[in-house]
């Protein structure tokens, strides 16, 4: 594993975007949470103890998109024009896909990634009691494949 002790530059700063023109921007990010079959069934059937898992995750993702600059220090606060959050079920997983649109000077990839991450973490929180084994561990549960699927700039 590489170490960073040799790095001497301790600067951290936002990129200056003041001279950039406002344009429409869009980013789509997704990620997956792998769950036990029984948990996926409980989500589908609406029998999870904490309530509607996907509705809660959708709201959490939307809040996370809007709060991204408060969470990631060098992100610019930008006007969010739209957020969509969709879920699909695959073989042993739920995939969250978040699309963010804005009219501004900088992209919205970090907002989309944050939204997808928080949607997945919210799902985990909502179902963690069903995912734990007898020792309180999560042998089957994992979040992976969080990535930017697409970004667009301009009309």
Length of the chain: 155
> Average pLDDT, whole number, for the chain?
94
Q: How confident is the model at residue 155 (pLDDT cuts 50, 70, 90)?
A: low
DSSP conformational letter for 21: P
Query: What pLDDT is attached to residue 12?
Result: 83
Arithmetic mean of pLDDT, 116-123: 98
pLDDT tens-place string over residues 37-91: 999 999 999 999 999 999 999 999 999 999 999 999 999 999 999 999 999 999 9
C-alpha pair distances (Å), 110 with each of 4, 10, 68, 155: 24, 23, 7, 20
- Asked whether residue 94 is domain-assigned, the answer is yes
What domain count does the chain have? Answer: 1
Domain that holds residue 144: 23-153
Asked if 92 and 34 touch (Cβ cutoff 8 Å), the reply is yes
Query: What pLDDT is attached to residue 115?
Result: 98
- Asked whether residue 17 is domain-assigned, the answer is no
Q: How confident is the model at residue 11 (pLDDT cuts 50, 70, 90)?
A: confident
CA distance 86 to 46: 17
C-alpha pair distances (Å), 118 with each of 26, 32, 105, 144: 19, 11, 25, 13
Burial of 92-120, coded b for 16+ CB within 10 Å and e otherwise, reads ebbbbbbbbbbebbbbbbbbbbbbbbbbb
Six-digit token string for 26: 């869009």
- Asked whether residue 133 is domain-assigned, the answer is yes
Six-digit token string for 143: 């979040």
Active site residues: 125
- Asked whether residue 9 is domain-assigned, the answer is no
Query: What pLDDT is attached to residue 113?
Result: 98
- Asked whether residue 144 is domain-assigned, the answer is yes
Residue 6 has pLDDT above 80, yes or no: no
Q: Helices then strands (H, E): number in the chain?
A: 3, 4
Q: What CATH number does residue 79 fall under?
A: 3.30.70.640
- Asked whether residue 8 is domain-assigned, the answer is no
Residue 14 has pLDDT above 90, yes or no: no
- Asked whether residue 63 is domain-assigned, the answer is yes
- Asked whether residue 35 is domain-assigned, the answer is yes
């Amino acid at each position: 594993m590489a170490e960073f002790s040799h790095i001497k530059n301790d600067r951290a700063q936002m990129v200056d975007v003041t001279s950039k023109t406002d344009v429409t921007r869009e980013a789509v990010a997704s990620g997956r949470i792998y769950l036990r079959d029984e948990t996926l069934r409980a989500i589908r059937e609406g029998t999870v103890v904490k309530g509607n898992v996907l509705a809660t995750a959708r709201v959490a993702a939307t809040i996370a998109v809007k709060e991204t600059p408060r969470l990631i220090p060098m992100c610019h606060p930008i006007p969010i024009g739209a957020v969509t959050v969709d879920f699909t079920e695959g073989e042993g997983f739920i995939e969250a896909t978040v699309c963010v649109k804005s009219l501004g000077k900088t992209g919205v990839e970090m907002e989309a990634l944050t939204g997808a991450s928080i949607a997945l973490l919210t799902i985990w929180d909502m179902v963690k009691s069903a995912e734990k084994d007898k020792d309180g561990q999560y042998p089957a549960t994992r979040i992976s494949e969080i990535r930017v699927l697409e970004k667009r700039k301009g009309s």
